[in-house]
Amino acid sequence: MVPEESKFTKDHEWVFVEDEIATIGISDYATGELGDIVYVELPEVDTEVQQLDPIGTIEAVKTVAELFSPVSGTIVEINDAIMEDPETVNSSPFGDGWFIKIRMDDPGELDALFSYTEYQEFLGEQAE
């Protein structure tokens, strides 16, 4: 996954697309805000989701944050490893800490998401 070539949501999720498969995770900004992640709850493979549907929760030491699907499609893979070792999300948010892979119904939905540069600007606005 290459952050500069990914799309981002205002909820700090990233989407990296290869061959119509969208890999989804959360950004290093999100892991920094949450702190140590202790639990990840993900949906099952073959679940069909619409854009913005809830797809699970992440729990850090004090916070439960909901996850939303940035695109519509069918979940083709989940990262079992992060449910066993949630700290992987902290140590490698753009790498081994990915969450799910979705076969997209409509790649056009990506157009509504932030580019890497737009996401950096969004983070700057939040910090003001």
Partner 1 sequence: MKKWSLIDDKAFSGAVNMAVDEYLLFRAENGHVPPVLRLYTFSPPAVTIGFHQDPGRIVDMGSLARDGIDLVRRITGGRALLHAGELTYSVTAPLGPPFFPGGLQKTFLDISRAIVDALKSIGVDAGISDGRSFSQGEGHSSPCLVSTSRHEVSVKGRKIMGSAQRRTASAFLQHGSILLRPASEGIVDYLKGDWKDISSMITSVEEETGSADLDLPLRKAMIDSFADVFGTGFDEMSIDGDGMTKITSGAKTKSSEFMEQKKSEGTG
Complete DSSP assignment for 71-89: S-EEEEEE-HHHHH-THHH
Among 1, 17, 65, 83, binds partner 1 (CB under 8 A): 65
Binding mask 4-33 for partner 1 (x = CB under 8 A): -------x-----------------x---x
Residue 12 corresponds to which tokens in the numbers above?
Answer: 């700090």
Confirm or reject binding of residue 100 to partner 1 (CB under 8 A).
no
Confirm or reject binding of residue 127 to partner 1 (CB under 8 A).
yes
Asked if 108 and 73 count as a contact pair (C-beta separation under 8 A), the reply is no
Q: Which of residues 31-50 bind partner 1 (CB under 8 A)?
A: 33-35, 38-39, 41
Task: Quote the Cα angle for 97-82-120, to 5°.
Answer: 25
Confirm or reject binding of residue 77 to partner 1 (CB under 8 A).
no
Task: Quote the Cα angle for 26-28-34, to 5°.
Answer: 80
Give whichever of 2 and 127 is closer to partner 1, judged by the CB atom: 127
Q: How far is the CB of 64 from partner 1 (least distance, A)?
A: 5
Residues 6+ apart with CB under 8 A from 104: 17, 20, 21, 22, 71, 72, 73, 110
**Site of interaction with partner 1 (CB under 8 A):** 11, 29, 33-35, 38-39, 41, 52, 57, 59-66, 68, 126-128
